[in-house]
Structures are given as structure tokens and as C-alpha cells.
């Protein structure tokens, strides 16, 4: 007996008129074929240019021209408390839009769909409703700029309970440019284990208060070029 094909669904957004599309790596993970349906109902078979598990970003390419594109914003300018809109296809409901606010930046999140030793943990937290099928879709500010990629939720049920997380657009832009150039992402690894600064650290350096982080452990390369990302 033959196995029944498994299907998955996610979202994405077009970043170039000639058909480059950004989505999540976990959306296309283990996929034999990837198909893209545009808002004008056209469908294309997509090529996966590259998928970076550490950032959970994938870049697709479809054979098309003169496509409308999104405007990519600067995620460093995002402010806690500002309004944002999440766009995607939760449960197959195409082009669904939900609104919320940014409640935090730089969130660390464990238990991701794709986990990696060197995964990047710098999420934008929002209460805009994100559900299965939203992954890879854009998080947009009130100026219509994409400032994040909707990627994960914190939930014991697998559905939205108030906490959604998006990958910053600046990271997505950097990863996508490297995937276009080389099909992979190059990283330098220091091998540092960082912890938050504590009260004892302030006393150690002769200060009353201290903020920031400290190096807890070092296990990196002893010379440049020893290990590539």
C-alpha cells in the first residue's frame, strides 16, 4: 500500500517583482513540492532557494514578472506599544488580517518548530492573533511596512491564547540576501555563553548598580576560521 501524501500550509510575502518570496523555514521543511497561490488566484510551483533553520527563514522563487511587492521596514525602529497588523491564512482562511500591539522586543522563545544549536532568539512579541497557517506571513506597522515575520505562538493547545512572536524584518532581509547570493547563510561563531548581570557583578567592579550581561562560559574557536556557521 502507498503512503498518503501529507500537506501543510503557511503564508509568505513577495519581496521582488521577479518572484522572490519570504516565508518560514518550518513551513517548507521536508516538503517535496512547494506551491504558491497569489491573491489574484494564480498558482505557481515554487523553488526553495534556501532555508535557514537557525533564523527559521526560507526564500522561495516563482517564475513570474511584474509582481506587487511589500515594503520592508526597519525593525529596529519598532516601539513597544505601537499598533501592528498580522496577515496570513490561518486554517486556510486566505488574507485574514488581525490587529494588535507590540508588547515586547528581543524575546527568547524555546520549543520552536525547528530548533537548532545556533538559532537566533530575538522575537517581536505581539497580541495580534496568530494561528496555524499564519506562519511566514508579514507583521505590518501602521505605515504599511513589514517589520516582522509571524512565526510562532506560546500556547499549550496549539492555537492562539494571546501571545504571538515574529522574526524582525532586519534579520529576514539579511538572511534573504545571503540566500539569494549563495543559497546559505554564513555565520561567525564566538562560542560565548552570556548571562544577565547580577548584583555581585556590580560589587566586583566597584559599582553600586550594573546593567547588561556577562560572559559565563567560552567554548569557541581558538583561532579565526576554525569553525563555520
Just list the catalytic residues: 26, 56, 135
User: Minimal CA–CA distance to 52: which of 194, 150, 180?
Assistant: 180
Alpha carbon distance 164, 149 (integer Å): 11
Q: Tell me the CA end-to-end span of the chain in Å, nearest whole number.
A: 42
Tell me phi and psi for residue 15, to 5 degrees. Answer: -115, -5
Q: What is the 3-state secondary structure (H, E, C) of 32-90?
A: CCEEEECCCCCEEEEEEEEEECCCCEEEEECCCCCCCCCEECCHHHCCCCCEEEEEECH
Residues shown for the chain? 229
Strand partners, 168: 148
Alpha carbon distance 207, 26 (integer Å): 45
Helix segments in the chain, DSSP class H: 25-28, 169-182, 199-204
Three-state DSSP class for residue 220:
coil
Amino acid at each position: 500500500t502507498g503512503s498518503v501524501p501529507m500537506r501543510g500550509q503557511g503564508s509568505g510575502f513577495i519581496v521582488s517583482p521577479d518572484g522572490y518570496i519570504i516565508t518560514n523555514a518550518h513551513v517548507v521543511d521536508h516538503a517535496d513540492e512547494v506551491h504558491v497561490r497569489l491573491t489574484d488566484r494564480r498558482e505557481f510551483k515554487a523553488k526553495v532557494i534556501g532555508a535557514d533553520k537557525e533564523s527559521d527563514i526560507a526564500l522561495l522563487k516563482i517564475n513570474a514578472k511584474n509582481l506587487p511587492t511589500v515594503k520592508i521596514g526597519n525593525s529596529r525602529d519598532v516601539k513597544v506599544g505601537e499598533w501592528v497588523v498580522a496577515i496570513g491564512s490561518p486554517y486556510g482562511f486566505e488574507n485574514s488580517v488581525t490587529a494588535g500591539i507590540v508588547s515586547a522586543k528581543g524575546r527568547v522563545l524555546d520549543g520552536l518548530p525547528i530548533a537548532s544549536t545556533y538559532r537566533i532568539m530575538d522575537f517581536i512579541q505581539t497580541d495580534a492573533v496568530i494561528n496555524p497557517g499564519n506562519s511566514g506571513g508579514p507583521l505590518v506597522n501602521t505605515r504599511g511596512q513589514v517589520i516582522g515575520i509571524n512565526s510562532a505562538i506560546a500556547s499549550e493547545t496549539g492555537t492562539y491564547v494571546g501571545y504571538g512572536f515574529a522574526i524582525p524584518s532586519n534579520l529576514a532581509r539579511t538572511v534573504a540576501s545571503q540566500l539569494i547570493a549563495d543559497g546559505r547563510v554564513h555565520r561567525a561563531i564566538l562560542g560565548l555563553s552570556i548571562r544577565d548581570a547580577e548584583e555581585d557583578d556590580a560589587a566586583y567592579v566597584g559599582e553600586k548598580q550594573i546593567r547588561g550581561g556577562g560572559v559565563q562560559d567560552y567554548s569557541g574557536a581558538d583561532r579565526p576560521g576554525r569553525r563555520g556557521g
